[in-house]
Chains A and B, each alone.
Chain A
Amino acid sequence: MSALLSLSHVGKDYPLTKRGPFQPRRTLRAVDDVSLEVAKGETLGLVGESGCGKSSLARLIMQLEAPSRGSVSLDGADLAKLGKSALKRARRDFQIIFQDPYASLNPRMKARAIIAEALHNYRLGTPAEIAARVEELAQQVGLGAHLLDRFPHELSGGQCQRIGIARAIALKPRLIVADEAVSALDVSIQAQILNLIIRLQSELGLTLIFVSHDMSVIAHVADRVAVMYLGRIVELGDTETVFSRAIHPYTRTLLAAVPTPTPAARGKRSAPAGEMPSPLSPPSGCHFRTRCAHATALCADEVPALREVGGRAVACHHAEALYQPKDASEVVHV
């Protein structure tokens, strides 16, 4: 497996404004010691609830922000060490699709100009060539050519998301980060966009990082999945393995909470106890211990490291005890 993208001990702190002149400056640790590799052509799902750091991680990968610790490297080159013009050149290789299809498009630019902008930025052809390429891209994402002369507000959410996707693939990137790319869309439109992204991925040989809070979407698209909680990865492995026999108590909680359109969901009491602690003052040791039924004193004292148990990586002190290789009752349908 050759890694296209590798994150090594990446961390991101956001300083907060002081509450008073004599108060200590507080920091929000949005991403905490995340290491992972994404192989060429694979799809990594990044899943977790709001505040878990998955979107911050997406921004770090996209070089929209600099990590406070650790490094993000693409093909072995540390992106943080690149100069301004080298970074601009490198940006061609990684692109992002955003959640909000309207907000991510400039309201004062027509679809044609939005898609063409990336090509102009890198001078990829004469104006006529760029115009032809824009039409080709529109066709590739299933956007009718007659829609190219419209403003975003004249288009539907699904159509705007297609423009966002066309813009992202215009530079022929190798890596695409889809940050909640289908979360704001209706079910039927969501299906269209998911199909489109999957099709483009195989046509263009893209590597995909799919960030979502929606377990069923992740289960559908991702080869591997990373589950995040309060800035840390708690479980990482093949989607089948993780979703069918989750080990980490948080992953289990998350999977159980998803309402499924099956009779199994009826009247089931699956809600976890308590609320997610404030990311400003996360619990010591394992962040999940305050809501975990299996927590012991060890969990408060020591941060569990990600380690290999049952064919995937888990950050839980009790992973071995929780791992039940053949227990069919743990199978969760998503």
Chain B
Amino acid sequence: MSLTEAAHPAPTAALSRALNYARRNPATTICCALLLGFVLIAIFAPLLAGDPLRIDPAQRLKPPSDTAIWGRDHLGRDVYARAVYGTRVSMLVGFSVAVLVTILGVAIGIYAGLSHIGGAVVMRLTDAMMAIPAVLLAIAFASLMNAGLLTVIIAITIPEVPRMVRLVRSVVLGVRQQLHVTAAISIGTSGLPLVWRHILPNTLGPVLVQATYACASAIIASAVLSFLGVGLSPEVPSWGGMMADARQQFRIHPVLMLYPGVLLSLLVLAVNILGDRLSDALDPRKARRSSL
């Protein structure tokens, strides 16, 4: 064995393991790369593009050029810059909603799964909320509050929570019946430790998948809200708003709609596929099988 090998065994091993994994799971790798790309774009937007807000009526609807590589919109704004900055809104809304929905949904769902009467009350409430279309509910909440990112996030989170609550409750009802929970009760585990150690970890798989779906649907919902002109003010760059703006020029300049549309689809697809893979990876039994 040479000295260099002895000095750096771990990084090489980890790298070769990662490469090996990437070779066997191309879809996961592509989605990871895509998502990482979007995150980087969102963080480094000011370095990647110029001012997305600058209006230049003289340049309106100009085709791609050196200064604006994806052309300009009906107010002469740089489409590329708006698309880059739009990533920020989508990512921020998507992840915030996913986190909020998970926290609220898990807390309420576990309560509903463990409490007999509380469970019934919570279920009727979620029934009522789910009877109203989510977007309609979001529009209602958004128009009740001041325009802004926080409003959008809250407006999208609220209609997403019941779905998570129902999922968590049904998983908890199942986990509660599992033999290892009975075993834990018989050795004197009860109350919060029972939930924390035995019930919560075994609900995590489906919850995280649902969280990624919530993330994806929040990204779409934020685009829909912007498209409808609710929530965010129109000058804030967002993919939905860009599509709404492009609608008027759709017959003449269809690409204006295409750019934000394709980006939106890519992001949602990447998040959804990763959600699926995540659920497999989080199950210790499945993870073992795939590593065999």
**Residues of A at under 8 Å CB distance from B?**
62, 64, 88, 91-92, 95-96, 98, 100, 103-109, 117-118, 121-122, 151, 153-154, 164, 167-168, 170-171
Residues of A within 8 A of B193 (CB): 121
Please give, as numbers and ranges, the residues of chain B lying within 8 Å of A121 by CB-CB distance: 187-189, 193
CB-defined contacts of A109 to chain B, threshold 8 Å? 197
Judge whether B187 and A107 touch: CB under 8 Å.
Answer: no
**8 Å CB contact of A167 from B179, B183, B201, B284:** B183
Give the residue among A95, A96, A153, A170 with the most B Cβ atoms within 10 A. A153
**Considering the chains assembled together, what is the distance between the CA atoms of A275 and B189 in angstroms?**
41
Residues of A within 8 A of B186 (CB): 62, 64, 91, 95-96
Known: A96-B183, A100-B179, A117-B184. A107 touches B284 (CB 8 A): yes
Nearest chain-A residue to B201 (Cβ)?
A: A108
Cβ of B198: which chain A residues have Cβ within 8 Å of it? 106
Contact for B183 among A88, A92, A98, A107, CB less than 8 A: A98
In the complex, whether B285 has a CB less than 8 A from a CB of chain A is yes
In whole Å, how far is A87's beta carbon from the nearest beta carbon of chain B?
9
Complex Cα spacing A91 to B184, Å: 11
Within 8 Å of chain A (Cβ to Cβ): is B170?
Answer: no
B284 touching A122, Cβ below 8 Å: no
B185 contacts the other chain (Cβ, under 8 Å)?
A: yes
B270-286 contact mask (Cβ, 8 Å, vs A): 1 or 0: 00000000000000110
Report, nearest first, the 7 A-B pairs whose CB atoms are least far apart.
A118-B187, A103-B179, A121-B188, A108-B201, A106-B180, A104-B179, A104-B183
Contacting residues, chain B, for A167 (C-beta < 8 A): 183, 187
Chain A interface helix/strand/loop/mixed: loop
Size class of the contact patch on chain B: 20 to 34
Contact among B184, B188, B285 with A106 in the assembled complex (CB-CB below 8 Å): B184
CB of A154 within 8 A of CB of B184, answer no
Identify 16 new A-B residue pairs, CB closer than 8 A, beyond the known A96-B186, A106-B184, A108-B201: A64-B185, A88-B190, A91-B186, A95-B186, A95-B187, A98-B182, A106-B180, A107-B180, A107-B285, A117-B184, A117-B187, A117-B189, A118-B188, A122-B188, A153-B288, A168-B187
Task: Point out the residues of chain A lying under 8 angstroms from B178, CB to CB.
Answer: 103
- Flag if B185 contacts A98 (CB, 8 Å): no
Asked if A106 meets B202 with Cβ closer than 8 Å, knowing A91-B188, A98-B183, the reply is yes
Chain A residues, CB < 8 A from B202:
106-108
Most B C-beta atoms less than 10 A away, residue of A117, A122, A151: A117
On chain A, the residues within 8 Å of B179 by CB distance are: 98, 100, 103-104
Q: Is the CB of A88 within 8 A of B188?
A: yes
Q: Are B284 and A64 in contact (CB under 8 A)?
A: no
Contact assessment for B187 and A91 in the assembled complex, using a CB-CB cutoff below 8 Å: yes
Chain A, residue nearest B289 (CB): A153
CB nearest neighbor in B for A153: B285
Contact between A105 and B189 (Cβ–Cβ < 8 Å)? no
What would be 15 A-B contacts, judged by CB atoms less than 8 Å apart?
Answer: A64-B185, A88-B190, A95-B186, A95-B187, A96-B186, A100-B179, A103-B178, A104-B179, A104-B180, A105-B183, A106-B197, A118-B187, A121-B189, A153-B284, A170-B187
Chain A contacts for B182, CB-based, 8 A = 64, 98, 104
B197, B284, B288: the one contacting A117 at CB < 8 Å is B197
Interface centre among B178, B182, B186, B285 (most CB of A within 10 A): B186
Interface string of B217-233 (1 = CB under 8 A from A): 00000000000000000
